Structure 1
Amino acid sequence: MISFLRCFATAGTLLVLPACSSSGTDAPPPAISSMHWAADGVAIQATTVTVSAPRPSDGRLTIAGERGTGADARAITMQLPSQEGTYDLALPSPPAPLVFYTEGSAGTRIAYAPKAGSITVSSFSATNISGTFRFTGSTSPLASPDKEITSGAFTVYR
């Protein structure tokens, strides 16, 4: 009887082991791009973040973060140089990155362009780009009220 139980236990162990072993072919989960910012103190976490291939003309990348739909839609779109650095948004584009913050949807969209602020690209590689941003945006040079974009950060994988 004991011999039978040992054989049964051994066979059961052999059946379980293959299910627990790793073949070494499991790929890590894909990295998830992220972007967040605050608009006039209200925190916004993008639910969709995209990055384009570099433009052939100047190598700039377009990174966009979006959240919501319709009147609740919020987005940041940036055209960045393909290198690390801190960029003054008060300068004309180029050399400064082109950046917009938008609220609303087509037909009711309000776009805010920066009149002061900066973007820092802290890491730029073949696989990912990350950095921070802040700016004061307006709908036109003389329009008010301004929109304060603070605590902005992005990490995108390509």
Structure 2
Amino acid sequence: MTLEDLLRLLHVLGATVLFGTGAGIAFFLVMAERTRDPHIIAAVSGIVVIADTVFTATAVVLQPLTGYGLASIIGWPLGEGWIVLSLALYVFVGLFWLPVVWIQIRLRDLAKQAAVNKAPIPPAFDRLYRIWFAFGFPAFFAVIAIFWLMLTKPEIRLF
């Protein structure tokens, strides 16, 4: 296995982890929220926070490193249109992901508090949940666009 092969493998695995963990987190948190049971929501959102920390954060760091390594080895200029657009979309996704991490922590804490107090899910939870839910869509479609750019490498003239 060459260094290029290894970097490609790590880059694809990282992209898979980012997409798969994001989709999985979204599915499980949506399903938990639908129960309206603070105990279930607290447990699931606790796991979601751990998964985002362990898997997503690791992949977020490795993706640009493996991408840079690949571009260097293959000889793709970093100013190539599809690379610049991919990086811009990556930053765009990050701008949605960072607040989502904070929101997930708050959702977990609000659900835990409701469970401990034997109270219903508070209105603050619902407001944050709607923001969390809405932030998922642009990030999800931006990641799909990045996949498309990486696979097709279209000729894009930016300037």
TM-score by length of 2: 0.20
More strand by share: 1
Larger-Rg structure: 1
TM-score by length of 1: 0.20
